[in-house]
Chain A
Amino acid sequence: DAKTTQPPSMDCAEGRAANLPCNHSTISGNEYVYWYRQIHSQGPQYIIHGLKNNETNEMASLIITEDRKSSTLILPHATLRDTAVYYCIVMGGGGSNYKLTFGKGTLLTVNP
């Protein structure tokens, strides 16, 4: 699976959009980009995933560049409860037994 690079930490003001970047320059054609987050002392929470098109759900939007070498997770209106470590993970999505490899992620701190 392709490796990802994320900034170790970011700050965001409550109510503003949080834009979390992720580089995955070695991503291959059949690999998806997944985003999870982990609030302190809880299990990771699935946020969103995508292949090449931009995706949006009730939690966030995922913007993937045309060359697929990077992506941005957007939380449109961050709240204090969005403070968490956000993980960007690249993984094949077409079969079973694919493993998620968690890096260090980005600690997003939403400030009042």
Chain B
Amino acid sequence: GAVVSQHPSRVICKSGTSVKIECRSLDFQATTMFWYRQFPKKSLMLMATSNEGSKATYEQGVEKDKFLINHASLTLSTLTVTSAHPEDSSFYICSAESQRGGIDTQYFGPGTRLTVL
């Protein structure tokens, strides 16, 4: 149980285009999902917290107009990187929060490797 999927797993795009990444909780409902970014040889950095039916909360330094997050259902959150540039190339990972047994536990997707040319 507690499986999270991401699509696509890998994407290459041209500079200036937009890319949408989907995150799905497959066997549980998640009121809260999180989006992280990881640069090579670095640790995961939280970008934003996404709550179903409301606006996302972004971490300091993350541009909300560039990284659009939509959490329209209890099993799906999307991250859209708008007008992508080479510096946005990174490993994007989502997680979904499960509250089994009253304890919050985040389960992570496999990640999406974004390369902007």
Contact = CB atoms under 8 A, between A and B. Distances in A.
Interface of A: 32, 34, 36, 38, 41-46, 49, 87, 91, 93-105
Nearest to B97: A96
A100 B57 CA distance: 14
Nearest to A48: B105
Which secondary structure dominates chain B's binding surface? strand
B68 interface: no
Interface residues of B, number: 30
B79 to A, nearest CB: 14
A21 to B, nearest CB: 18
Contact of A105 (B43, B49, B57): B43
B114 interface: no
The 10 closest A-B pairs by CB, nearest first: A43-B108, A102-B44, A102-B43, A43-B111, A44-B108, A43-B93, A93-B103, A43-B110, A43-B109, A98-B104
